[in-house]
Amino acid sequence: MQNSDSSHRPYYAYRVEASLGGGKFVRVERRYSQFLALHNELRKLVRTPEFPPKKLRNTSHKLLEERRAGLEGYLQHLVRLNPVPTSLLDFLQLKVEELT
């Protein structure tokens, strides 16, 4: 999803949607830079999967979709960690109690 910041520069935000079970659902939008900050924090604590590269040669639909799929796979790996890292819960705007 393309947006623009206060300086009117375009950026892409990725919608993260997760079903927590029991009818609970979370939806947040995050920029690539927020995913990267999460990755940099987590790799100090746990072994992380490969992270999609920052540089895009262009912003074609195909490349953006590849990045989105990479970020999705990255998050799917992280949510399987036990315990789920606090920084990931913060990223998703969740509390530990909401997972049970």
Task: Tell me the residue type at 31.
Answer: R
Secondary structure of 85-97 in the HEC alphabet? Answer: CHHHHHHCCCCHH
Q: For position 95, what pLDDT does the model report?
A: 79
Residue 5's pLDDT band (cuts 50, 70, 90):
low
Task: Collapse the DSSP code of 60 into the 3-class scheme (helix H, G, I; strand E, B; otherwise coil) and give the result.
Answer: coil
Residues whose CB falls within 8 Å of the CB of residue 86, separated by 6 or more in sequence, listed in order: 96
Mean per-residue pLDDT of the chain: 84
Residues with Cβ within 8 Å of 70's Cβ and at least 6 positions away in sequence, in order, are 50, 51, 52
Show the domains of the chain with their CATH numbers: 2-99 (3.30.1520.10)
For the stretch 34-82, pLDDT in tens is 999 999 999 999 999 999 988 767 777 888 888 889 999 999 899 888 8
The reported pLDDT for the residue numbered 91 is 93
